[in-house]
Chain A
Amino acid sequence: DSGVTQTPKHLITATGQRVTLRCSPRSGDLSVYWYQQSLDQGLQFLIQYYNGEERAKGNILERFSAQQFPDLHSELNLSSLELGDSALYFCASSVRDSGNEQFFGPGTRLTVL
C-alpha cells in the first residue's frame, strides 16, 4: 500500500457523460500527478499539481481538467467522454515538485460504453 488513495476503483459510463476521479496523496506529499494508461499506450503523463498550483502539463485533452484543493487532494474531471477515453487512470504523489520518487495509487478503471 503506497498511501495514495483513489476513488472510485471502477467507473462505467456512457459517451458524452462527465466523470470526476478523486485522489488523496500520501500524508506530507505536496505534489499530485495524473497518468493515463490506455490499452495500446504506455503510461502517459497528464498533469501535475504542486501545493495547489499547476506545475507541469502533458498532452492532456481540453475536455479534461484537474485541480488540487487546499487539503491537497486532487480531482480529475473528464467531460464529453468518448470511447477512446476508456483507460486506467493513476494518481501519484511525491514530497517535492521534482526529482524524487512518485508513489502510485491503485488506479481508477474507466470504461466508456
Chain B
Amino acid sequence: ILNVEQSPQSLHVQEGDSTNFTCSFPSSNFYALHWYRWETAKSPEALFVMTLNGDEKKKGRISATLNTKEGYSYLYIKGSQPEDSATYLCALGSGQGGKLIFGQGTELSVKP
C-alpha cells in the first residue's frame, strides 16, 4: 500500500513569516507529485504538478521542489499572508491512470 506522509500536521505562523512543509513518498513508486491548496468550505485547487527529479515550480510567493530519488517534496511560502491560510495537500500519481494518493495535509494558519 502506497503511503504519502505530510509534515507537520498543522502550522501556525505570523503574517510575513516564511514557511515550508514536507511531503514524503516511496521513491520506488514515483510517477508524478501534485500539490493542492484547500481552503475551508471550498474545493481543492491545483498548485503544481511535478514529474522530474529536481523539478522546481513557482507560483507567486509559493514554490515547490522535488527529489524523486529520496522521495520527498518541499512546498515553500514566502512572506505568508492571512489569505494563505488553508490545508496544503500533496498527492502521488500512482501510474494507474490519473489515480492520486493523497497525504493527510498540512493545515496552515497565518495570523495578522
Binding site for B on A (CB under 8 A): 2, 31, 33, 42-45, 48, 50, 55-58, 90, 94, 96-107
A99 and B98 form a contact (CB under 8 A):
yes
Chain B interface residue count, Cβ-Cβ cutoff 8 angstroms = 25
Task: Determine the main DSSP class of B at the interface with A.
Answer: loop
Beyond the given A31-B98, A56-B99, A102-B34, please list 10 additional residue pairs across the A-B interface where CB-CB is below 8 A. A48-B97, A56-B97, A57-B99, A58-B99, A90-B44, A97-B97, A99-B98, A100-B49, A103-B46, A104-B43
A-B contact pairs, 22 of them (CB 8 A): A2-B45, A31-B97, A42-B104, A43-B44, A43-B91, A45-B102, A48-B99, A50-B98, A56-B94, A56-B97, A56-B98, A56-B99, A57-B99, A58-B99, A94-B98, A97-B97, A98-B32, A99-B31, A100-B98, A101-B49, A102-B34, A102-B46
B97 and A50 form a contact (CB under 8 A):
yes
B residues in contact with A45, CB < 8 Å: 99-102
A98 and B44 form a contact (CB under 8 A):
no
B residues in contact with A2, CB < 8 Å: 43, 45
A43 to B6 alpha-carbon distance, docked (Å): 13
Q: Considering the complex, which residues of chain B in the window 68-112 have a beta carbon less than 8 Å from any beta carbon of chain A?
A: 89, 91, 93-105
B residues in contact with A97, CB < 8 Å: 97-98
